[in-house]
Amino acid sequence: MSKKFIIAWIVLFVAWLLGDFVVHGVLLRSDYMQLTNLFRTEGDQQKYFPLMILAHVILSGALVWIYVRGAEAKPWMAQGVRFGVAVALLTVVPTYMIYFVVQPMPGDVVIKQILCEGVLMVILGTIVAWLYRDAATPLRAG
């Protein structure tokens, strides 16, 4: 694990945690306040907050690892956006669709979750691409 990898992991961890706070704690807060029967109370959530931190540590490390393994010698911004979109399509979109099927969440809230988290994923993909903008390796045959 290189120093660059560790730095990218930390940067992505902070960006992701802050981004999720903006999405869920600010932008979607009023929607969630109308659905208190579907969520833990704020006091109960705080008991489990260390698991939220651990989840973001795992998520950010995995995101950097996957990006680094597939980075190509192409323009970093477009590559970061593509990566963010791909990850959103792999994770955000189907996850919230599945939650909608099994949890009585209003459809408009699910759409907001998908859009907000999708944008966040593109931002995170762009951040990791920027952090690795000079480290992309040429495509290998075979």
Compute the mean pLDDT over every residue in the chain, rounded to the nearest whole number. Answer: 93
CA distance readout (Å), 81 to 26, 41, 112, 129, 131 = 24, 35, 20, 8, 13
Q: Please, what is the Cα angle at 92 between 87 and 93, to 5 degrees?
A: 105
Tell me which range, 2-6, 12-16, 39-43, is most confidently predicted by mean pLDDT: 12-16
Return the residue matching tokens 């009585």.
104
Return the percentage of the chain with pLDDT > 70, whole number: 94
What share of the chain in percent tops pLDDT 90? 83
Task: State how far the Cα of 69 lies from the Cα of 128, in Å rounded to an integer.
Answer: 12
pTM (2 decimals)? 0.89
**pLDDT exceeds cutoff 80 at 137:** no
